[in-house]
Structure 1
Amino acid sequence: MLDRSLRAVLARPLEVTAAALDRPGITPDRLTVLGLALGVASAVTAGFQLWWVALVLWLVSRIADGLDGTLARRRRRLAESQGRDSAPSHAGGFLDITADFVVYGATVVGVAFGATAQFGAPWWPFLLVLLVYYVNGTAFLAFSSIAERTGRTIDDGRSLSFLGRIAEGTETIAVHALWLILPFWAWQIALVWALFVAVSAVQRIVVGYRSLR
Protein backbone atom coordinates (compact mmCIF):
# COMPACT_ATOMS: atom_id res chain seq x y z
CA MET A 1 0.00 0.00 0.00
CA LEU A 2 2.83 2.41 0.85
CA ASP A 3 5.54 1.11 -1.50
CA ARG A 4 4.91 3.60 -4.30
CA SER A 5 4.91 6.60 -1.95
CA LEU A 6 8.00 5.49 -0.05
CA ARG A 7 9.91 4.72 -3.23
CA ALA A 8 9.25 8.28 -4.41
CA VAL A 9 10.49 9.71 -1.10
CA LEU A 10 13.61 7.52 -0.97
CA ALA A 11 14.51 7.69 -4.66
CA ARG A 12 16.90 10.64 -4.30
CA PRO A 13 18.72 9.45 -1.14
CA LEU A 14 19.13 5.98 -2.63
CA GLU A 15 20.48 7.43 -5.87
CA VAL A 16 23.03 9.52 -3.99
CA THR A 17 24.13 6.55 -1.89
CA ALA A 18 24.32 4.27 -4.94
CA ALA A 19 26.50 6.83 -6.71
CA ALA A 20 28.86 6.87 -3.72
CA LEU A 21 28.99 3.05 -3.71
CA ASP A 22 29.46 2.71 -7.47
CA ARG A 23 32.91 1.14 -7.44
CA PRO A 24 34.27 -1.86 -9.39
CA GLY A 25 34.31 -4.10 -6.34
CA ILE A 26 30.69 -3.36 -5.42
CA THR A 27 27.95 -4.99 -7.48
CA PRO A 28 24.16 -5.17 -7.09
CA ASP A 29 24.38 -8.92 -6.46
CA ARG A 30 26.92 -8.41 -3.69
CA LEU A 31 24.63 -5.86 -2.06
CA THR A 32 21.81 -8.40 -2.28
CA VAL A 33 23.95 -11.04 -0.58
CA LEU A 34 24.99 -8.50 2.06
CA GLY A 35 21.32 -7.73 2.75
CA LEU A 36 20.62 -11.46 2.98
CA ALA A 37 23.48 -12.05 5.44
CA LEU A 38 22.48 -9.10 7.63
CA GLY A 39 18.82 -10.15 7.56
CA VAL A 40 19.63 -13.70 8.65
CA ALA A 41 21.94 -12.29 11.34
CA SER A 42 19.04 -10.15 12.55
CA ALA A 43 16.86 -13.25 12.82
CA VAL A 44 19.55 -15.12 14.77
CA THR A 45 20.12 -12.26 17.22
CA ALA A 46 16.37 -11.94 17.71
CA GLY A 47 16.29 -15.62 18.62
CA PHE A 48 18.86 -14.85 21.33
CA GLN A 49 16.73 -11.90 22.52
CA LEU A 50 19.31 -9.29 21.44
CA TRP A 51 16.46 -7.11 20.26
CA TRP A 52 18.20 -3.81 19.58
CA VAL A 53 21.09 -5.49 17.79
CA ALA A 54 18.54 -7.38 15.70
CA LEU A 55 16.73 -4.12 14.93
CA VAL A 56 19.89 -2.40 13.66
CA LEU A 57 20.83 -5.42 11.54
CA TRP A 58 17.29 -5.59 10.17
CA LEU A 59 17.20 -1.93 9.11
CA VAL A 60 20.68 -2.02 7.55
CA SER A 61 19.76 -5.20 5.68
CA ARG A 62 16.72 -3.48 4.20
CA ILE A 63 18.83 -0.49 3.16
CA ALA A 64 21.17 -2.87 1.33
CA ASP A 65 18.11 -4.48 -0.26
CA GLY A 66 16.97 -1.08 -1.54
CA LEU A 67 20.38 -0.15 -2.85
CA ASP A 68 20.96 -3.24 -5.01
CA GLY A 69 18.20 -2.35 -7.47
CA THR A 70 19.12 1.34 -7.43
CA LEU A 71 22.72 0.54 -8.29
CA ALA A 72 21.65 -1.87 -11.03
CA ARG A 73 19.39 0.75 -12.64
CA ARG A 74 22.14 3.37 -12.37
CA ARG A 75 24.58 1.12 -14.23
CA ARG A 76 21.99 0.32 -16.91
CA ARG A 77 21.43 4.03 -17.53
CA LEU A 78 25.19 4.57 -17.79
CA ALA A 79 25.52 1.68 -20.22
CA GLU A 80 22.69 3.06 -22.37
CA SER A 81 24.31 6.50 -22.46
CA GLN A 82 27.52 4.88 -23.72
CA GLY A 83 25.74 2.75 -26.30
CA ARG A 84 26.51 -0.52 -24.54
CA ASP A 85 24.23 -3.47 -23.80
CA SER A 86 21.92 -2.47 -20.95
CA ALA A 87 19.66 -5.50 -20.56
CA PRO A 88 18.47 -6.00 -16.97
CA SER A 89 19.98 -8.86 -14.99
CA HIS A 90 17.31 -11.52 -14.60
CA ALA A 91 19.71 -13.44 -12.37
CA GLY A 92 19.94 -10.41 -10.10
CA GLY A 93 16.17 -10.11 -9.91
CA PHE A 94 15.87 -13.79 -9.07
CA LEU A 95 18.53 -13.50 -6.36
CA ASP A 96 16.85 -10.42 -4.90
CA ILE A 97 13.36 -11.90 -4.50
CA THR A 98 14.77 -15.18 -3.18
CA ALA A 99 16.85 -13.31 -0.59
CA ASP A 100 13.77 -11.32 0.47
CA PHE A 101 11.76 -14.47 1.08
CA VAL A 102 14.58 -16.07 3.07
CA VAL A 103 15.02 -12.97 5.23
CA TYR A 104 11.30 -12.45 5.86
CA GLY A 105 10.77 -16.07 6.84
CA ALA A 106 13.91 -16.22 8.97
CA THR A 107 12.90 -13.09 10.85
CA VAL A 108 9.50 -14.52 11.72
CA VAL A 109 11.17 -17.66 13.08
CA GLY A 110 13.83 -15.68 14.96
CA VAL A 111 11.30 -13.39 16.62
CA ALA A 112 9.12 -16.40 17.49
CA PHE A 113 12.06 -18.13 19.19
CA GLY A 114 13.04 -15.01 21.11
CA ALA A 115 9.53 -13.99 22.17
CA THR A 116 8.63 -17.54 23.19
CA ALA A 117 11.79 -17.99 25.26
CA GLN A 118 11.71 -14.59 26.96
CA PHE A 119 8.03 -13.74 27.23
CA GLY A 120 6.27 -17.10 26.90
CA ALA A 121 4.60 -16.05 23.63
CA PRO A 122 2.54 -18.71 21.82
CA TRP A 123 3.90 -20.09 18.55
CA TRP A 124 0.70 -20.25 16.54
CA PRO A 125 0.44 -16.53 15.56
CA PHE A 126 3.91 -16.74 13.99
CA LEU A 127 3.01 -19.97 12.19
CA LEU A 128 -0.06 -18.17 10.88
CA VAL A 129 2.15 -15.37 9.54
CA LEU A 130 4.33 -17.91 7.75
CA LEU A 131 1.22 -19.53 6.23
CA VAL A 132 -0.17 -16.27 4.84
CA TYR A 133 3.31 -15.30 3.62
CA TYR A 134 3.35 -18.57 1.68
CA VAL A 135 -0.08 -17.94 0.14
CA ASN A 136 0.69 -14.29 -0.60
CA GLY A 137 4.05 -15.09 -2.17
CA THR A 138 2.56 -17.86 -4.27
CA ALA A 139 -0.12 -15.52 -5.61
CA PHE A 140 2.16 -12.72 -6.74
CA LEU A 141 4.97 -14.98 -8.02
CA ALA A 142 2.49 -17.04 -10.03
CA PHE A 143 0.94 -13.87 -11.44
CA SER A 144 4.36 -12.47 -12.36
CA SER A 145 5.35 -15.67 -14.17
CA ILE A 146 2.11 -15.99 -16.16
CA ALA A 147 1.96 -12.24 -16.88
CA GLU A 148 5.44 -12.46 -18.38
CA ARG A 149 4.41 -15.31 -20.67
CA THR A 150 1.18 -13.62 -21.76
CA GLY A 151 2.54 -10.12 -22.27
CA ARG A 152 0.60 -8.58 -19.35
CA THR A 153 3.53 -7.49 -17.24
CA ILE A 154 3.40 -4.57 -14.84
CA ASP A 155 6.53 -2.47 -15.37
CA ASP A 156 7.38 -0.37 -12.31
CA GLY A 157 11.15 -0.69 -12.58
CA ARG A 158 11.39 -3.93 -10.63
CA SER A 159 12.29 -7.36 -11.99
CA LEU A 160 8.86 -8.89 -11.32
CA SER A 161 5.29 -7.78 -11.93
CA PHE A 162 3.99 -6.80 -8.49
CA LEU A 163 0.31 -6.62 -7.69
CA GLY A 164 0.33 -3.90 -5.06
CA ARG A 165 -2.05 -4.46 -2.16
CA ILE A 166 -2.40 -3.35 1.48
CA ALA A 167 0.54 -5.47 2.68
CA GLU A 168 3.69 -4.76 0.65
CA GLY A 169 7.39 -4.43 1.34
CA THR A 170 7.14 -1.16 3.27
CA GLU A 171 4.54 -2.52 5.65
CA THR A 172 6.54 -5.73 6.10
CA ILE A 173 9.70 -3.82 7.01
CA ALA A 174 7.74 -1.69 9.50
CA VAL A 175 6.02 -4.64 11.18
CA HIS A 176 9.21 -6.67 11.46
CA ALA A 177 10.92 -3.64 13.01
CA LEU A 178 7.99 -3.21 15.41
CA TRP A 179 8.46 -6.82 16.56
CA LEU A 180 12.03 -6.01 17.50
CA ILE A 181 11.10 -2.75 19.25
CA LEU A 182 8.18 -4.29 21.18
CA PRO A 183 9.05 -7.99 21.47
CA PHE A 184 6.79 -8.38 24.52
CA TRP A 185 3.83 -7.72 22.20
CA ALA A 186 5.26 -9.72 19.30
CA TRP A 187 2.60 -12.42 19.14
CA GLN A 188 -0.26 -9.89 19.28
CA ILE A 189 1.38 -7.89 16.48
CA ALA A 190 1.85 -11.14 14.54
CA LEU A 191 -1.84 -11.93 14.86
CA VAL A 192 -2.94 -8.56 13.49
CA TRP A 193 -0.27 -8.68 10.78
CA ALA A 194 -1.39 -12.14 9.68
CA LEU A 195 -4.89 -10.74 9.14
CA PHE A 196 -3.56 -7.90 6.98
CA VAL A 197 -1.39 -10.23 4.90
CA ALA A 198 -4.30 -12.65 4.48
CA VAL A 199 -6.52 -9.85 3.17
CA SER A 200 -3.69 -8.80 0.85
CA ALA A 201 -3.36 -12.39 -0.40
CA VAL A 202 -7.07 -12.59 -1.19
CA GLN A 203 -6.86 -9.26 -3.03
CA ARG A 204 -3.90 -10.47 -5.10
CA ILE A 205 -5.65 -13.72 -5.97
CA VAL A 206 -8.83 -11.94 -7.09
CA VAL A 207 -7.09 -9.14 -8.99
CA GLY A 208 -4.53 -11.50 -10.54
CA TYR A 209 -7.23 -13.89 -11.72
CA ARG A 210 -9.28 -11.08 -13.25
CA SER A 211 -6.21 -9.54 -14.90
CA LEU A 212 -5.25 -12.81 -16.57
CA ARG A 213 -8.71 -13.85 -17.79
Structure 2
Amino acid sequence: MLDPVARRVLDAPLARVAGALDRPWLSPDRLTALGLALGLGSAAAAAVQQWAPALVLWLVSRLADGLDGPLARRRRTAGAAGDAGSGGFFDITADFLVYGSTVLGVAIGTTRGFDAPWEPFAVVLLAYYVNGTAFLAFSSIAERAGRQLDDGRSLSFLGGLAEGTETIAVHAIWLLLPAVAWQVAWVWAVVVALSAGHRMLIGYRSLR
Protein backbone atom coordinates (compact mmCIF):
# COMPACT_ATOMS: atom_id res chain seq x y z
CA MET A 1 0.00 0.00 0.00
CA LEU A 2 2.84 2.39 0.84
CA ASP A 3 5.25 1.29 -1.90
CA PRO A 4 4.15 3.94 -4.47
CA VAL A 5 4.62 6.70 -1.90
CA ALA A 6 7.97 5.28 -0.77
CA ARG A 7 9.19 5.09 -4.37
CA ARG A 8 8.24 8.71 -5.03
CA VAL A 9 10.11 9.83 -1.92
CA LEU A 10 13.13 7.53 -2.18
CA ASP A 11 13.73 7.04 -5.91
CA ALA A 12 15.79 10.22 -6.36
CA PRO A 13 17.97 9.78 -3.22
CA LEU A 14 18.57 6.10 -4.00
CA ALA A 15 19.51 6.99 -7.58
CA ARG A 16 22.07 9.50 -6.27
CA VAL A 17 23.56 6.94 -3.89
CA ALA A 18 23.65 4.37 -6.70
CA GLY A 19 25.53 6.90 -8.80
CA ALA A 20 28.07 7.41 -6.03
CA LEU A 21 28.52 3.63 -5.72
CA ASP A 22 28.77 3.03 -9.46
CA ARG A 23 32.13 1.33 -9.81
CA PRO A 24 33.13 -1.43 -12.26
CA TRP A 25 33.63 -3.96 -9.47
CA LEU A 26 30.21 -3.38 -7.87
CA SER A 27 27.43 -4.96 -9.89
CA PRO A 28 23.71 -4.93 -9.07
CA ASP A 29 23.86 -8.68 -8.42
CA ARG A 30 26.65 -8.13 -5.89
CA LEU A 31 24.52 -5.58 -4.11
CA THR A 32 21.68 -8.12 -4.05
CA ALA A 33 24.06 -10.73 -2.65
CA LEU A 34 25.21 -8.27 0.01
CA GLY A 35 21.61 -7.59 1.00
CA LEU A 36 20.97 -11.33 1.17
CA ALA A 37 24.01 -11.97 3.38
CA LEU A 38 23.14 -9.10 5.72
CA GLY A 39 19.51 -10.23 5.90
CA LEU A 40 20.52 -13.77 6.82
CA GLY A 41 22.89 -12.30 9.40
CA SER A 42 19.98 -10.35 10.86
CA ALA A 43 17.90 -13.52 11.12
CA ALA A 44 20.76 -15.35 12.84
CA ALA A 45 21.29 -12.47 15.28
CA ALA A 46 17.57 -12.43 16.13
CA ALA A 47 17.62 -16.18 16.77
CA VAL A 48 20.30 -15.69 19.46
CA GLN A 49 18.49 -12.61 20.84
CA GLN A 50 21.01 -10.03 19.68
CA TRP A 51 18.23 -7.60 18.86
CA ALA A 52 20.18 -4.38 18.27
CA PRO A 53 22.68 -5.97 15.82
CA ALA A 54 19.77 -7.76 14.15
CA LEU A 55 17.95 -4.46 13.63
CA VAL A 56 21.03 -2.75 12.17
CA LEU A 57 21.74 -5.68 9.85
CA TRP A 58 18.08 -5.74 8.76
CA LEU A 59 17.99 -2.05 7.87
CA VAL A 60 21.34 -2.10 6.04
CA SER A 61 20.22 -5.24 4.22
CA ARG A 62 17.08 -3.50 2.98
CA LEU A 63 19.14 -0.46 1.94
CA ALA A 64 21.36 -2.69 -0.19
CA ASP A 65 18.25 -4.29 -1.63
CA GLY A 66 16.89 -0.86 -2.48
CA LEU A 67 20.07 0.14 -4.32
CA ASP A 68 20.46 -2.81 -6.68
CA GLY A 69 17.55 -1.70 -8.87
CA PRO A 70 18.68 1.94 -9.31
CA LEU A 71 22.22 0.75 -10.07
CA ALA A 72 20.91 -1.72 -12.67
CA ARG A 73 18.78 0.97 -14.32
CA ARG A 74 21.76 3.33 -14.33
CA ARG A 75 23.90 0.70 -16.05
CA ARG A 76 21.20 -0.03 -18.66
CA THR A 77 20.80 3.69 -19.38
CA ALA A 78 24.54 3.93 -19.92
CA GLY A 79 24.41 0.99 -22.32
CA ALA A 80 26.31 -1.39 -20.08
CA ALA A 81 25.86 -5.11 -20.57
CA GLY A 82 23.58 -6.88 -18.15
CA ASP A 83 20.54 -9.10 -17.93
CA ALA A 84 17.57 -7.48 -16.23
CA GLY A 85 15.74 -10.82 -16.18
CA SER A 86 18.35 -12.74 -14.22
CA GLY A 87 18.91 -9.77 -11.91
CA GLY A 88 15.19 -9.50 -11.19
CA PHE A 89 15.00 -13.25 -10.55
CA PHE A 90 17.91 -13.12 -8.11
CA ASP A 91 16.44 -10.08 -6.37
CA ILE A 92 12.99 -11.55 -5.74
CA THR A 93 14.31 -14.94 -4.60
CA ALA A 94 16.77 -13.21 -2.26
CA ASP A 95 13.93 -11.11 -0.85
CA PHE A 96 11.80 -14.19 -0.15
CA LEU A 97 14.72 -15.94 1.53
CA VAL A 98 15.49 -12.92 3.70
CA TYR A 99 11.86 -12.34 4.68
CA GLY A 100 11.25 -15.98 5.57
CA SER A 101 14.54 -16.31 7.45
CA THR A 102 13.85 -13.19 9.47
CA VAL A 103 10.42 -14.46 10.52
CA LEU A 104 12.03 -17.73 11.60
CA GLY A 105 14.86 -15.94 13.42
CA VAL A 106 12.47 -13.70 15.34
CA ALA A 107 10.27 -16.69 16.19
CA ILE A 108 13.24 -18.62 17.60
CA GLY A 109 14.57 -15.62 19.52
CA THR A 110 11.26 -14.61 21.08
CA THR A 111 10.18 -18.14 22.02
CA ARG A 112 13.50 -18.63 23.80
CA GLY A 113 13.87 -15.19 25.31
CA PHE A 114 10.29 -14.23 26.13
CA ASP A 115 8.48 -17.58 26.17
CA ALA A 116 6.39 -16.27 23.29
CA PRO A 117 4.17 -18.58 21.21
CA TRP A 118 5.50 -19.65 17.82
CA GLU A 119 2.08 -19.99 16.17
CA PRO A 120 1.69 -16.35 15.00
CA PHE A 121 4.99 -16.52 13.14
CA ALA A 122 3.94 -19.78 11.49
CA VAL A 123 0.74 -18.07 10.33
CA VAL A 124 2.80 -15.16 8.97
CA LEU A 125 4.91 -17.61 6.95
CA LEU A 126 1.76 -19.25 5.57
CA ALA A 127 0.36 -15.84 4.63
CA TYR A 128 3.68 -14.94 2.95
CA TYR A 129 3.52 -18.19 0.99
CA VAL A 130 0.02 -17.53 -0.34
CA ASN A 131 0.70 -13.85 -0.97
CA GLY A 132 3.92 -14.55 -2.84
CA THR A 133 2.31 -17.29 -4.89
CA ALA A 134 -0.50 -14.94 -5.91
CA PHE A 135 1.65 -12.11 -7.21
CA LEU A 136 4.31 -14.32 -8.79
CA ALA A 137 1.69 -16.40 -10.61
CA PHE A 138 -0.02 -13.21 -11.78
CA SER A 139 3.27 -11.77 -13.03
CA SER A 140 4.10 -14.90 -15.03
CA ILE A 141 0.65 -15.37 -16.57
CA ALA A 142 0.15 -11.65 -17.21
CA GLU A 143 3.39 -11.50 -19.19
CA ARG A 144 2.37 -14.46 -21.34
CA ALA A 145 -1.05 -12.89 -21.89
CA GLY A 146 0.42 -9.48 -22.72
CA ARG A 147 -1.22 -7.85 -19.69
CA GLN A 148 1.83 -7.14 -17.56
CA LEU A 149 1.93 -4.07 -15.32
CA ASP A 150 5.04 -1.99 -16.01
CA ASP A 151 6.13 0.20 -13.10
CA GLY A 152 9.86 -0.11 -13.81
CA ARG A 153 10.36 -3.31 -11.84
CA SER A 154 11.21 -6.72 -13.26
CA LEU A 155 7.86 -8.25 -12.28
CA SER A 156 4.24 -7.18 -12.57
CA PHE A 157 3.30 -6.33 -8.99
CA LEU A 158 -0.33 -6.21 -7.89
CA GLY A 159 -0.75 -3.64 -5.15
CA GLY A 160 -2.03 -4.64 -1.74
CA LEU A 161 -2.17 -3.81 1.94
CA ALA A 162 1.12 -5.61 2.58
CA GLU A 163 3.98 -4.60 0.31
CA GLY A 164 7.72 -4.17 0.71
CA THR A 165 7.57 -0.94 2.72
CA GLU A 166 5.15 -2.38 5.27
CA THR A 167 7.19 -5.58 5.52
CA ILE A 168 10.39 -3.67 6.26
CA ALA A 169 8.61 -1.64 8.93
CA VAL A 170 6.96 -4.62 10.66
CA HIS A 171 10.16 -6.68 10.72
CA ALA A 172 11.98 -3.66 12.18
CA ILE A 173 9.29 -3.35 14.90
CA TRP A 174 9.80 -7.01 15.78
CA LEU A 175 13.51 -6.42 16.26
CA LEU A 176 13.02 -3.14 18.09
CA LEU A 177 10.30 -4.49 20.43
CA PRO A 178 10.85 -8.25 20.59
CA ALA A 179 8.82 -8.67 23.77
CA VAL A 180 5.62 -7.84 21.87
CA ALA A 181 6.69 -9.28 18.51
CA TRP A 182 4.25 -12.19 18.67
CA GLN A 183 1.27 -9.86 19.19
CA VAL A 184 2.42 -7.75 16.25
CA ALA A 185 2.82 -10.96 14.25
CA TRP A 186 -0.85 -11.87 14.71
CA VAL A 187 -1.94 -8.49 13.38
CA TRP A 188 0.57 -8.68 10.53
CA ALA A 189 -0.58 -12.17 9.59
CA VAL A 190 -4.14 -10.86 9.18
CA VAL A 191 -2.94 -7.92 7.07
CA VAL A 192 -0.86 -10.16 4.81
CA ALA A 193 -3.73 -12.65 4.49
CA LEU A 194 -6.10 -9.86 3.47
CA SER A 195 -3.53 -8.64 0.97
CA ALA A 196 -3.19 -12.16 -0.43
CA GLY A 197 -6.96 -12.46 -0.80
CA HIS A 198 -7.12 -9.09 -2.53
CA ARG A 199 -4.33 -10.04 -4.94
CA MET A 200 -6.04 -13.34 -5.74
CA LEU A 201 -9.31 -11.56 -6.52
CA ILE A 202 -7.81 -8.70 -8.53
CA GLY A 203 -5.43 -10.99 -10.37
CA TYR A 204 -8.24 -13.36 -11.33
CA ARG A 205 -10.40 -10.51 -12.60
CA SER A 206 -7.51 -8.89 -14.47
CA LEU A 207 -6.67 -12.09 -16.34
CA ARG A 208 -10.21 -13.03 -17.36
Q: TM-score range by the shorter chain?
A: over 0.9
SS of match in other structure, 1:5: helix
Deviation, structure 1 residue 78? 1.3
Equivalent residue in structure 2 for 1:154, among 144, 149, 153:
149
Deviation, structure 1 residue 11? 1.0
CA distance in 2, matches of 1:207, 1:126: 26
Equivalent residue in structure 1 for 2:184, among 189, 208, 211:
189
CA distance in 1, matches of 2:112, 2:163: 29
Partner residue, 1:212: 207
CA distance in 1, matches of 2:13, 2:56: 19
Deviation, structure 1 residue 170? 0.2
What aligned pairs does 1:25-104 form with structure 2 within 5 A after superposition? 25-79=25-79, 88-104=83-99
Identical-residue share of aligned pairs (%): 68
**One-letter amino acid of the structure 2 residue matched with residue 115 of structure 1:** T
Partner residue, 2:124: 129
For the Cα contact (< 8 Å) 1:107–1:176, is it kept in 2? yes
Q: Does 1:106 align with 2:106?
A: no
CA distance in 2, matches of 1:6, 1:88: 26
Per the normalisation by structure 2, the TM-score is: 0.98
SS of match in other structure, 2:78: helix
Partner residue, 1:169: 164
Large movers: runs of 4+ above 3 Å: none
CA distance in 1, matches of 2:156, 2:107: 31
**One-letter amino acid of the structure 2 residue matched with residue 179 of structure 1:** W
Deviation sequence 1:17-61 (CA, Å, 0-9, x none): 100110000000000000000000000000010001000000000
CA distance in 2, matches of 1:93, 1:11: 17
What aligned pairs does 1:15-30 form with structure 2 within 5 A after superposition? 15-30=15-30
CA distance in 2, matches of 1:8, 1:60: 20
CA distance in 2, matches of 1:185, 1:109: 16
Equivalent residue in structure 2 for 1:143, among 114, 138, 160:
138
Deviation, structure 1 residue 88? 5.0
**One-letter amino acid of the structure 2 residue matched with residue 182 of structure 1:** L
**One-letter amino acid of the structure 1 residue matched with residue 49 of structure 2:** Q
CA distance in 2, matches of 1:89, 1:170: 22
Equivalent residue in structure 1 for 2:195, among 174, 179, 200:
200
Partner residue, 2:6: 6
Q: How many residues get paired?
A: 208
C-alpha RMSD of matched pairs (Å): 1.0
CA distance in 1, matches of 2:56, 2:114: 21
Deviation sequence 1:132-152 (CA, Å, 0-9, x none): 000000000000000010000
Deviation, structure 1 residue 12? 1.4
SS of match in other structure, 2:152: coil
SS of match in other structure, 1:162: coil
Structure 2 portions without partners, runs of 5+: none
CA distance in 2, matches of 1:58, 1:164: 23
**One-letter amino acid of the structure 1 residue matched with residue 22 of structure 2:** D
For the Cα contact (< 8 Å) 1:76–1:88, is it kept in 2? no
CA distance in 2, matches of 1:63, 1:46: 19
